[in-house]
Amino acid sequence: MIARRHQVALVLTAVLASAAACQARDHRPADRPGRPAPSAARGFTLVASGDILPDTAVIDRARFDAGGTVSAGGSGHDFRPMLEGVRAVVSRADLALCHLDTPYGANGDYTGRPLFKSPPEIAGALAATGYDGCSTASDHSLDDGAAGVQRTLDALDGAGVRHAGTARTEAEGNSVTLLRAGRATVAHLAYTSDTGGQPLPPGQPWTVGLIDENRIVADAKAARKAGADVVVVSVHWGTAWQDAPDDRQLALARTLTASRTDGRPDIDLILGARAHVPQAYEKVNGTWVVYGLGDQIAGEMVNRQGVPDPRGSQSTVARFTFDPPARAGGRWAVRKAEFVPQMFDIDAGRVVDLDQALAQGAGVAGVRDRIRDVVLSRGAAKEGLVMG
């Protein structure tokens, strides 16, 4: 079994090397020079990926990729090679969103479980990969208190990556994150069901956005009034290691997608994270809901039975193409809905596009097919969802 795993890892490493050679073009997010501006006559494509949850082994790998060694202490951290396998998908989108599950540490104090403090170099790697913004509300947001939130958002700002879900000030906590996607203005809102038992800083309830259906709807309406053509809500929710969405996810999805103003939905897309495994996509009340994207970057994951679970390295990239409304004030509609299966190769320390790996001969068809079956388990194929 171990030999087989390393055989697959060698093939995947070759795939990644080939991809890097073919995709070595400069990429900058939409608000920087370099990304071709979308035609005003067309809509835009949005991609979103799952949890970035680097444990100690992942941190060590990034130190090694930066040119150092674990034993010698390394020379910083480089997460760009880790994300190279997803760069083509991310960089070709008009708007790309990630989910940053952990806060950043400082001065070499970087840890994995149980309290995460990640290297701030992740922010630069996200920008280099092509991400425009990230949700930052999670059950780990307060693993290093308010200082960790401050550090994380400062690093993202420094890299030019926008963020939603945590805040340094009350004004920031009450603001709306607006991004450009072609000629559309997209609002990104983010919330978490809990903070993993870590208390909110005294007198600062706005530090982390907590899930409250009335607040989410109110924020979505406020975002629309602030000029958003499309409102995207990221939610850190669900039951860990459960392929199917739980009752709370289903109920909240129904409530949020049912909210309307003058007949127009207040929320246009819901993106879920937290379960550590890919979950279904579903169209609810005419709006796409991704219950769980899975973990994009995580080390070896142990499930609730204390057993290493390969599903913790599996995820999808969601890709939605929006078309402009036929009339002023109408809804930007999803014309095409896709998902791209991927996995994190723990041995190589790389994110891998599974279809590309299959084309190169890697034995990952079973992984790809399992992800597909879970994603389509609530009838999304009948609504037009396809594997990209």
CATH of the domain at 150: 3.60.21.10
Rounded Cα gap, residues 256 and 269, in angstroms:
10
pLDDT on residue 257: 98
pLDDT on residue 328: 86
Rounded Cα gap, residues 89 and 259, in angstroms:
32
Q: Which residues of the chain have pLDDT under 70?
A: 1-41, 69-75
Q: Give the residue numbers spanning the domain of 352.
A: 2-387
Total domains in the chain come to: 1
Amino acid identity of 91?
Answer: S
DSSP structural state of residue 327: S
Tell me, rounded to whole angstroms, the distance of Cα 314 from its chain centroid. Answer: 13
Phi, psi of 130 (to 5 degrees): 115, 5
Report strand pairing: 184-192 vs 281-284.
Answer: unpaired
Helices (H), the chain: 2-22, 56-65, 80-91, 121-129, 145-159, 170-173, 213-225, 247-258, 354-359, 365-375
**pTM to 2 decimals?**
0.90
Tell me, rounded to whole angstroms, the distance of Cα 304 from its chain centroid. Answer: 23
